[in-house]
Every structure is written in structure tokens, then in C-alpha cells.
């Protein structure tokens, strides 16, 4: 009998992963604002939900605040990628703040859908996570008309007036499969439920979920690089488990990778949330290589080429006429 070959230790690296166009634009917005206006530049809420990115920008002179009221009058303030309610804009204007809006264009799209449905007399069922900044901002567009539905189980709790005009929207960073379940449950209660004109869950969330599904069943465990308050990163852990991964863990960086996870594993899947810089993924790959996982194969689910222009306040100024 020949000797059975020992299975090699390998890494399946999901692609696409990491920064989406909206996050890239938001982080660049703070960097460019610091270059143009000098420190400090104030940022309302975490610009993106990643502890490392926030810490790095703080070191460069960004000051993160919870509300516009904390920003000294006349200062520059950047609104985060997750969007803000209209009252936040009004408050900033009253304080004479110079606002730069880094809201992701795909979140702005959901805001405009909310206004349009509300103006047409619809009650809006907003599928999303209670307290998430994006949900708070969208709800602010039509607070009397928007009812939060936090997952399929919550669909039984929705109460809307008898008039019956009802539409749904969603947070951009949810699980695609779970959102479809929630919509199906809502449609049982409200057969007349109107769909949004286009899918609200953003391309990047969908693509990252598709990529992790491709590697989940082949992996002994999945490591998702991302922060706990990042909705799309937390969803990647859930999607990996649903797609057949025996285990999946969320880590902020390589220091959180536990040796016990690796000891029995042969194949480890790695991906990262949409607000995660690639150097954090590289750090995790280096950590895995130290434990013998040096064979890395990138598995691409969907090509991704989306880029968003910077907010107009920060685009290059036209050269002065000679």
C-alpha cells in the first residue's frame, strides 16, 4: 500500500472582499478634507464601521463625534457613509457648519425611495436592524410613515393603518436570503406589498455574500475580518454558516485568530467586510502562514468594478483661467 498523502493546509480567499466603493469614497473623503482644510476635521459617527480605520483617521486629525451639536460652530463636519436624517442636516446648517456628505450613493438612493413612497401616501416597511445608523437616517426621511421590521420573525408585529398602501425598503447591508424571507413573510400579511424600484441591498453586500457561499462548504472554518458593529461583516459570518461552513469567526485583525481554531483545520476560508482595509486581511494571511497555511487560492465569485466620485466639495478645483 502506498502512503496516503497528508492533505495540505490551504486557504481559500474570497473575492470580492473588503472595501466597497462607498467605503473607499467615505475614507478618502475624510483624508482629502484633512488635506484641504487641515486638522481638525469633525466626523459625525464612525465614518465606516471599522475600528482600525477610525483609529488611523483619528491619528491624522479627524475628531469623531456622536452629534453635530458637538462640533464647534463654523467647523468642517463630514457625514458618515451610513447617511443622516434631514434633521441632522438642518441642525448642521443652523450651527453654520461646513458639511461634506460622505453618505454612500446607494444609501442616498434608499432615502430618495423613502421620500417618494411617503409622498405617494404609502406606509413603508423598512427591513433592517434597530438602532443601526443607516436605519436611523432613512427613518428620519418620513418618521410617521416608516415601520421597522427586524427580520422575518418581526413581520408579525407590524401594524399599519387600514388604508392599505404599503411598500418595503431595506437597509443596504443585510443578508440577501434573510431579507427575501422577511419580504415573503410580509407579503403573506400584506398581499398588496409594493417592491422598491430596484434592490436596496447593495451590490457589494450581495457580492461578498456570494463569494463566501462559494468557499463555505469546502472550508473547515471561515474567518471574516471585520468589526462587531459592522452589519455586513456580521452577516458574512451568518451566511458562511448557513452555506455549510462548520464554523465561522469574526476577527478585527490577526491578533484575534485563536490557535485552537487552526489545529484541526485543513482548509480555512478567509474574507472581509466592506469596511475592512486589505492590510488587515494580509495580516491574517501572514498569521495563518505561520501555522502552515501558506497555500492561498483566491476564489472569485463576481468581478467588481464599481467606483463612486468624491463628494463635490472635494473634487479637484478647475485650474484658474490664465
Give catalytic residues, as residue numbers.
Answer: 134
User: What span, in angstroms and rounded, lies between the C-alpha atoms of 212 and 207?
Assistant: 9
Pick from 104, 103, 193: nearest CA to 149: 193
127 neighbors 183 (Cβ within 8 angstroms): yes
DSSP for residue 158 = -
Instruction: Quote the crossing angle between the two packed helices 231-242 and 203-216, to the nearest 10°.
Output: 30
Q: Residues with Cβ < 8 Å from 259, sequence gap 6 or more?
A: 291
DSSP for residue 194 = B
Q: Residues with Cβ < 8 Å from 227, sequence gap 6 or more?
A: 49, 50, 51, 52, 233, 252, 273, 275, 276
234 neighbors 226 (Cβ within 8 angstroms): yes
C-alpha cell at 302: 463576481
Q: What element of type H or E holds 79? A: strand 76-79
Amino acid at each position: 500500500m502506498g502512503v496516503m498523502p497528508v492533505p495540505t493546509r490551504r486557504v481559500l480567499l474570497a473575492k470580492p472582499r473588503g472595501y466597497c466603493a462607498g467605503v473607499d469614497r467615505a475614507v478618502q473623503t475624510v483624508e482629502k478634507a484633512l488635506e484641504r482644510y487641515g486638522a481638525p476635521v469633525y466626523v459625525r459617527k464612525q465614518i465606516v464601521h471599522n475600528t482600525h480605520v477610525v483609529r488611523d483617521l483619528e491619528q491624522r486629525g479627524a475628531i469623531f463625534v456622536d452629534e453635530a451639536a458637538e462640533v464647534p460652530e463654523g467647523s468642517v463636519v463630514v457625514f458618515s457613509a451610513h447617511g443622516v436624517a434631514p434633521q441632522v442636516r438642518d441642525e448642521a446648517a443652523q450651527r453654520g457648519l461646513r458639511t461634506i456628505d460622505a453618505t454612500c450613493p446607494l444609501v442616498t438612493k434608499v432615502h430618495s425611495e423613502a421620500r417618494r413612497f411617503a409622498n405617494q401616501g404609502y406606509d413603508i416597511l423598512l427591513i433592517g436592524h434597530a438602532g443601526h445608523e443607516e436605519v436611523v437616517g432613512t427613518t428620519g426621511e418620513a418618521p410617521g410613515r416608516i415601520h421597522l421590521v427586524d427580520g422575518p420573525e418581526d413581520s408579525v408585529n407590524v401594524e399599519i393603518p387600514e388604508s392599505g398602501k404599503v411598500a418595503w425598503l431595506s437597509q443596504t447591508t443585510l443578508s440577501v436570503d434573510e431579507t427575501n424571507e422577511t419580504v415573503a413573510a410580509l407579503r403573506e400579511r400584506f398581499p398588496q406589498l409594493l417592491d422598491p424600484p430596484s434592490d436596496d441591498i447593495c451590490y457589494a453586500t450581495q457580492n461578498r455574500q456570494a463569494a463566501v457561499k462559494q468557499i463555505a462548504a469546502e472550508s473547515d472554518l471561515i474567518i471574516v475580518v471585520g468589526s462587531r458593529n459592522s452589519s455586513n461583516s456580521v452577516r458574512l459570518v451568518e451566511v458562511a454558516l448557513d452555506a455549510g461552513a462548520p464554523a465561522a469567526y469574526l476577527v478585527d485583525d490577526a491578533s484575534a485568530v485563536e490557535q485552537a481554531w487552526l489545529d484541526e483545520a485543513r482548509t480555512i476560508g478567509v474574507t472581509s467586510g466592506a469596511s475592512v482595509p486589505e492590510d488587515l486581511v494580509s495580516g491574517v494571511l501572514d498569521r495563518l502562514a505561520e501555522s502552515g497555511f501558506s497555500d492561498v487560492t483566491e476564489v472569485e465569485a463576481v468581478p467588481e468594478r464599481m467606483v463612486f466620485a468624491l463628494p463635490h466639495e472635494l473634487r479637484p478645483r478647475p485650474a484658474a483661467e490664465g
